[in-house]
Amino acid sequence: NAGVMQNPRHLVRRRGQEARLRCSPMKGHSHVYWYRQLPEEGLKFMVYLQKENIIDESGMPKERFSAEFPKEGPSILRIQQVVRGDSAAYFCASYLGQTDTEAFFGQGTRLTVV
C-alpha cells in the first residue's frame, strides 16, 4: 500500500514561470491538505480539498495560486508567475475521512525560484 506520493521532489523555476506540484493520496483517501514550509519555520496551511471540491482555501494567496483534486488523478497545486518568495517546501497530506482523520504526509516538493 503505497504512501502519499508527491512529484517532482525538486523543482526549479525561473521567475515568471509556472510551477505544477502533484500529490497522489494514499489509496482510498479522499481528503487532501496542502501546506507550505519555509526553512526553520512551521507548516502553513494552504488549502483543504475533497474529491472534486475545494473545501477551504483560506490559507492560499488569492492571486497566482490554485488547487484542484479531480475525480481521477492526483491533486494539483499550481503556482503561476512564480516569484522568489514562493521558494519553499510544499507538502501534501491525505486522510481517509469521516471518523478516520489520521493524516499522512508525502515527501514534499522543494520549489526553488531563480
Partner 1 sequence: QKEVEQNSGPLSVPEGAIASLNCTYSDRGSQSFFWYRQYSGKSPELIMSIYSNGDKEDGRFTAQLNKASQYVSLLIRDSQPSDSATYLCAVHSSNDYKLSFGAGTTVTVRA
Q: Which of 42, 71, 84, 85 binds partner 1 (CB under 8 A)?
A: 42
Min dist CB 106 to partner 1, Å, is: 6
When the beta carbons of 40 and 72 are compared against partner 1, the nearer one is: 40
* CA atoms of 45 and 109, how far apart (whole Å): 15
Which residues lie closer than 8 Å to 73 by C-beta, 6 or more apart? none
CB nearer to partner 1: pick between 72 and 102: 102
Binding of residue 105 to partner 1 (CB under 8 A): yes
Cell of 28: 482510498
Q: Give the residues lining the site for partner 1 (CB under 8 A).
A: 31, 33, 35, 41-43, 45, 48, 55-56, 91, 93, 101-108
